[in-house]
Amino acid sequence: MESFHTSKLDVSISHSRKWGAREAGREVARNVIKKLKSPPSFFLLFSTIHYEDHGGLKELLAGVWDILPKGTPLIGGTIAGFVDNEGCFARGVTALAIAYPNLDVAVGVGKHTKTNPYRAGKNCAEMLNTKLGKSKFENKIIIDMVSAPTIPKVPGVERVNVVRSNFFGWFATHFVTRLCGFFGTGLAKEVDVIDELSIHVKDYNMIGGSAVDTGDMLSNYQFIGNEVYTNAVVALGLNIDTPIFLEGKIGVHQTDKSFDITGTACNEYVITKINNESATTQFFDLLDIPSEHSKELKQFYYKTVDYFPITFEENNERVIGLAGIFGDHLVVSHRLAGKHAKLLSITGEEAINSIGKLLDDKNSNSFPFVFGFSSAIYPFMMGRKTLDIKDLLDTKLGGTPYLIVFPMVENIRYKNKDPSIRVYSTNIFSLSANLGGDGNNLQL
């Protein structure tokens, strides 16, 4: 358990690894709150999916509210794992709370992100603006969680993201993807949600990610107040009197391979043609993997593909990964951002170095805390080597409380600019430790 205190600001981070959902909820809330000198101004809660089978996520949240003061603004969701001062975990629940008098907080939710992502983003923003529109504090940030993709349940069909038949792949592309959104499954449409949300909160910074499970894409949950959702965007808006630090890095490098996307479907969430040929065959040829091997895949992620995301000449801030194979078609992690694609690559060392660069040349030891979202693909690739991320953060931050959670897709946005929605990145948020000072050295 870690905490930071000044005469005004309290920050506390802790976790629980109890198996039972209700007991874990109580323990994490109790651990966080007992280190605060006053009631929390807000509470961020993140859990791995394991509690789905050990009491349920509603019971986890109920356990938190057994301890948490009534009315505390709370959001969060399920993540693939987390790193804090006490360890690196693929199972458990973690929380961050801040107690500080000079801030205003609001929470918002937009439902049915997979059916109508634009309405969900707008509704969430309107809730935040209604409550924060008259705030006197000028430093602003939104922390959000969006439902990640989920593979639909089809009677008699195994829940996998690989369709071997070209015919059924075509059918899945043009019919199944359209239908499953009405049942709260399928493509997540995070780009649409976050783009719309940001339009209505132009003067806010933003940081967030997609709620996920262990990478199987079978279920995910979002938390707001005492409610649990499976197909929503939740957000916490924060207006505060001290400057905000926000920065992100992508941990990839460019290869010498590129290709043209010549056919798309599903509002550019599916690639149907590459260089006017089968998208699947062409992509696996680029990776020097026989295309017939792609038809044998059963796991959600083909481990070689994890190391080869793509970006675009038209927008190199958008980095996406392969999320599924529908016969000749490729499903991508989120919407394309151009027709001229570049093949990227990544190593575990690059992932770790990108996190280190976020804190280089900054007085990071003076931060009251560091909170961030980092790609779930990193621990999927690195396994036990994910502990190297913790070692790096310990070296860079000393005793500063920190919490990094692993969602499926990350988003970041600087106020009055377009948001970046991507994978293979790490984005962090903090405040000026010099509370009441100008904090210009930390503003972006």
The CB density around residue 271, as the number of other CB atoms within 10 Å, is 28
Nearest of 136, 99, 139, 104 to residue 6 by alpha carbon = 99
Pair 222, 228: CB distance under 8 Å: yes
For residue 327, the model assigns a pLDDT of 79
State how far the Cα of 56 lies from the Cα of 43, in Å rounded to an integer.
20
Axis-axis angle for helices 117-132, 190-199 (nearest 10): 30
Average pLDDT of the residues of the chain:
86
Judged against a pLDDT cut of 50, whether residue 298 lies above it is answered with no
Quickly state the pLDDT bin for 406 (edges 50, 70, 90).
Answer: very high
- Structure tokens belonging to residue 276: 């006017």
Pair 237, 140: CB distance under 8 Å: yes
3-state secondary structure of 20: coil
Judged against a pLDDT cut of 90, whether residue 1 lies above it is answered with no
- Structure tokens belonging to residue 72: 């505390």
- Structure tokens belonging to residue 55: 């009491």
Give the containing element (helix H, strand E) for 344. Answer: strand 340-345
pLDDT tens digits for range 213-235:
988 778 899 999 999 999 999 99
For residue 441, the model assigns a pLDDT of 30
State how far the Cα of 444 lies from the Cα of 440, in Å rounded to an integer.
8
The CB density around residue 197, as the number of other CB atoms within 10 Å, is 32
**Helix residue ranges, H only, 278-408:** 279-286, 291-294, 348-359, 377-382, 387-397
Q: Taken in order 118, 79, 52, 28, is the CA torsion positive or negative?
A: negative
Cβ partners under 8 Å of residue 440, min gap 6? 243
Judged against a pLDDT cut of 50, whether residue 301 lies above it is answered with no
For residue 382, the model assigns a pLDDT of 85
3-state secondary structure of 376: coil
- Structure tokens belonging to residue 152: 């639909």
Quickly state the pLDDT bin for 4 (edges 50, 70, 90).
Answer: low
User: In this predicted model, which residue has the larger pLDDT, 317 or 304?
Assistant: 317
Nearest of 410, 338, 391 to residue 146 by alpha carbon = 410
Query: What is the Cα Rg of the chain in Å?
Result: 21
Give the single-character DSSP code of 333: S
Indicate the domain borders of the chain: 2-149+186-250+348-442, 254-345
Q: Taken in order 361, 365, 366, 372, is the CA torsion positive or negative?
A: positive
DSSP string, 295-318: TT--SSS-TTGGG--EEESS-TT-
Judged against a pLDDT cut of 50, whether residue 272 lies above it is answered with yes
For residue 170, the model assigns a pLDDT of 57
Pair 58, 46: CB distance under 8 Å: no
State how far the Cα of 136 lies from the Cα of 27, in Å rounded to an integer.
35
In angstroms, how far is CA 332 from the centroid of its own chain? 16
pLDDT tens digits for range 88-123:
999 999 999 999 999 999 999 999 998 899 999 999
- Structure tokens belonging to residue 380: 């999927």
Judged against a pLDDT cut of 70, whether residue 362 lies above it is answered with no
Judged against a pLDDT cut of 80, whether residue 169 lies above it is answered with no
For residue 216, the model assigns a pLDDT of 79
Residue 330 CB-density burial (10 A; 0-12 exposed, 13-18 middle, 19+ buried): buried
State how far the Cα of 6 lies from the Cα of 205, in Å rounded to an integer.
25
Q: What is the pTM of this model?
A: 0.89
